[in-house]
Copies of this chain bind each other. A is one copy, B any other.
C-alpha cells in the first residue's frame, strides 16, 4: 500500500500518515481528510546519536499504522527548527541526532511516499485551526504551555514560518525585560520563564517559605499539576503562582493582539489545566493593555485537540501541500 513512487503520488487518497516525534515518545497515526484518526501507535523515541535509528523508528511506527486504505504521504512533527522546503531539521535540542539531517529525503527513500516535516508548535496551530478551537477562523495564534512555551502563527490561513523557519518563538518574547528572571536562551524575562510548567514549579518553590501553611510539597519532584490541584483546593501559594503566571501571560497576549490583531488566540499544553486559576488575571491584563478594537475582536480560548493537535496539523499540511501541487499542475 505504501510503495507508490513519491513523484507519482496518489493525490486522490484521503489518508496520510502523521508522526509526532517528541523528545520522549514517538506517536504515529493514520488520518483521513476529515481529520479523523483511523489508527494510532505509540513507542519511545530512541535515544541515539544516529539519525538512521530515528528514521527506522518512524518507518516502523508508520508500518504499524497501515490499514487497508492507501496513504499518500507521511508528515512528521519535529520538536525544533526545521527548513520545510528542504525537508531538513535545522536544530532539535531534544532529538539532537537530527540536527542538520534531511529527514524528508530519508523517509521518502524508505517509505516510497512524499514526506513533509513541520515544527511541533506550528503543526499544533494548524491542527487547532483545522479541527479544534480555531475552526472557521483565518488568523490564529497558538501557544503551547508545556515544559517550555511554543508558538504558531497563522495569518490569512497560512502559517507564518519566518525567513528562516524560526518565527513564532512566542515563549521568548520579553514580558519583564529588565528585572525579570534570566532565561536559558540568554535573554531576561521571557514569557517562558513565567508561563511554562517549569516556571510554575520554580515560582512555587521560590514563594514556598512565604506560605508556611501551603499544602504544596517541597520535594524535588514537585509538578505543575500538583500545584494546580492545590490551587483548586484553595491553596493560597498555588493560587498566587497561577495569578502571577496569568498576569505575565496577559502582558504577552496584549502584545500579540496589538501587533497582529488575530481572530483567536488558542492556549494549549499541560499548564492550561490551570485555566480556572489564571484566566481571569490574563483577561484583566489584556483588557488594560490591548487596544479596544482588536481586544474586542480576539477570542482567547482553550485548545481542543489535546495531544493530537500536532498529528492533525501535520496531516492537514500534507493534504494541503498535495492539493497545492495539484493546483499548480
Does A5 sit at the interface, judged by CB under 8 A?
Answer: no
Q: How far is the CA of A138 from the CA of B160 in the complex (A)?
A: 12
Given contacts A81-B293, A185-B291, A186-B289, contact A261 B163 (CB under 8 A): yes
Does A177 sit at the interface, judged by CB under 8 A?
Answer: yes
Please indicate the chain B residues that have their CB under 8 angstroms from the CB of A326 in the complex: none
The contact size tier of chain A is: 35 or more
Interface mask (A117-153 → B, CB under 8 Å = 1, otherwise 0): 0000000000000000000001100000000000101
Does A259 sit at the interface, judged by CB under 8 A?
Answer: yes
- CB <8 Å contact, B293 and A167: no
- CB <8 Å contact, A173 and B255: yes
- CB <8 Å contact, B262 and A163: yes
Does A251 sit at the interface, judged by CB under 8 A?
Answer: yes
Q: How far is the CA of A20 from the CA of B272 in the complex (A)?
A: 46
Min CB distance A243 to B, Å, is 14
Q: How far is the CA of A161 from the CA of B263 in the complex (A)?
A: 12
Please indicate the chain B residues that have their CB under 8 angstroms from the CB of A187 in the complex: 254, 288-290
Of B90, B258, B297, B298, the contact of A172 (CB 8 Å cutoff): B258
- CB <8 Å contact, A166 and B255: no
Interface mask (A75-105 → B, CB under 8 Å = 1, otherwise 0): 0000001000000001100000000000000
Please indicate the chain B residues that have their CB under 8 angstroms from the CB of A155 in the complex: 155, 160
Min CB distance A187 to B, Å, is 4
* 9 examples of A-B residue contacts, CB within 8 angstroms: A90-B293, A155-B160, A163-B298, A166-B261, A167-B260, A176-B178, A177-B289, A178-B179, A187-B254
